[in-house]
Amino acid sequence: MIISLFILSSCSNTGNGELTGVSNRKPFFEPQPYGMVLVPRGSFNMGPSDQDVVWANNPVKTVSVDAFWIDETEITNNEYRQFVFWIRDSIARRLVGEQFPEFLITEDDNGNLIDPPRLNWDEEIEWKLPEFADALDELYYPENERMFNRREIDPRKLIYEYYWIDYQQAARNSGRFNQETGKYEGTVRNCEGELVPIENRTSFIMHDKVMIYPDTLCWIKNFTYSYNEPWVNMYFWHPGFDEYPVVGVNWHQAKAFCAWRTNFQNDWLHSIEEAGVQQYRLPSEAEWEYAARGGLDMSMYPWGGYYTRTEDGCFMANFKPLRGNYSQDGGLATVQVMSYDPNGYGLYDMAGNVAEWTVTAYDEASSSLMNEFNPNYEYNALPNDPQSMKRKVIRGGSWKDIAYFLQTGTRTYEYQDSAKSYIGFRCVRSSFGNEF
């Protein structure tokens, strides 16, 4: 009887010969990511919301974008510090693991060797113990560079290595897999800018190494004859600035943060046998503008209307009003996130405070080049490329910009390897598995 029941239950999985799909699939319900807001799919008129002859080469264009999650605020110092500390601790575990094997996981549950070994985050590093201090010495400034003989972490050693897939090159017909020959054809541009033959699918996997510590000296470099040393010494590490937007982060560092954030969450989800999430990334220019408008299609500013003040005369954002009276709007330089009211989607500081990186490459003619469906223009510029190829679109204006740059349709650029005291970023993540 037991054998008969087993046979009957096995046959029932075939669906009586009907097409029923794969059974026992675990249903997926996308939870709301912490600190993010869902922007529903939709269409809008991308470009200036007011007549501006000077910028007439940026025409208005109707585009459509998918739904996506976006951070409700810019990435703060404390959030970016979690990234820095993770990099510091992971490097420390690699160094300590060379002498103390318990800090590395070399075998899986079945006894198979893991190469390279995984980090064991359950073990705590006692930084001050002599046996650990010797192993970690490589992570600190060398003795000849120390001030007052203080043993401090060398931020130049905090390097994040990660991999990403160049889908743009993989999608080209010239690089497709030839089923008749069983080989790939064509060439691919590697991370060094060299055109090399495509060997297999790993040819499209790119490897990046990025120094991730913010450039704290940007507070001096960005200004002529100013006393900004207190900002250099305090802004990134002092607890009083924890909820201020991180600055001094270039485009490469912002992308590295997005890659780490993706891996950080997916590693945890996989550890509890849950499906992973879409990658965190920088928003496209179209996504950023769509989110900034907050559902108000033809609005000049995220809050609606043509003015930067409320009826009571209060400024609506942190920018440069009244010929350089920086403090008139309530802040001298950057201010804490959420200091001003959110827009219609519940997003803060989509105008002012700090301008924000997008993934989009800047080109004067990009509006005519991009598709109307999820428009974006990307170019992965290399160090030896011309400077004009390294421009990335920034949006939103900052605490040092006049009101024009706060408009939702205003676009400008900065070079991808530049770190400024007035540019930060926020992440987005494509949404899937939901109905809207």
Is the bond leading into 116 cis (omega within 30 degrees of zero)? yes
Threshold 0.75, pTM exceeds: yes
Phi, psi values for residue 387, rounded to 5° = -60, -35
Residue environment code for 311-332, b if the CB has 16+ CB neighbours within 10 A, otherwise e: eeeebbbbbbbeeeebeebebe
Q: Is the dihedral of CA 191, 192, 197, 199 positive or negative?
A: negative
Q: Cβ of 72: how many Cβ atoms within 10 Å?
A: 18
Digitized pLDDT (tens) for each residue of the chain, 436 residues in all: 444 444 444 445 566 788 888 888 877 777 789 999 999 999 999 988 775 545 555 678 899 999 999 999 999 999 999 999 999 999 999 999 888 888 988 888 788 888 888 898 988 888 888 888 888 999 999 999 998 888 999 999 999 999 999 988 888 887 788 888 888 888 888 887 788 889 888 899 999 999 999 999 999 999 999 999 999 999 999 999 999 999 999 999 999 999 999 999 998 888 887 877 889 999 999 999 999 999 998 889 999 888 999 888 899 999 999 888 888 888 899 999 999 999 999 999 999 999 999 999 999 888 888 899 999 999 988 888 899 999 999 999 999 999 999 999 999 999 999 999 999 999 999 997 555 4
Domain boundaries of the chain, sorted by first residue: 69-76+214-436
Give me the pLDDT at residue 15, please. 65
* Cβ–Cβ < 8 Å for 231, 248: no
Give me the pLDDT at residue 111, please. 82
Burial of 256 from C-beta contacts in 10 A (0-12 / 13-18 / 19+):
buried
Q: Is the dihedral of CA 358, 372, 57, 397 positive or negative?
A: negative
Dihedral of CA atoms 66, 71, 74, 75 in degrees, nearest 10, equals: -120
* Cβ–Cβ < 8 Å for 67, 39: yes
Token pair in block for residue 38: 């869902």
Give me the pLDDT at residue 343, please. 95
The dotted CATH code for 69-76+214-436 is 3.90.1580.10
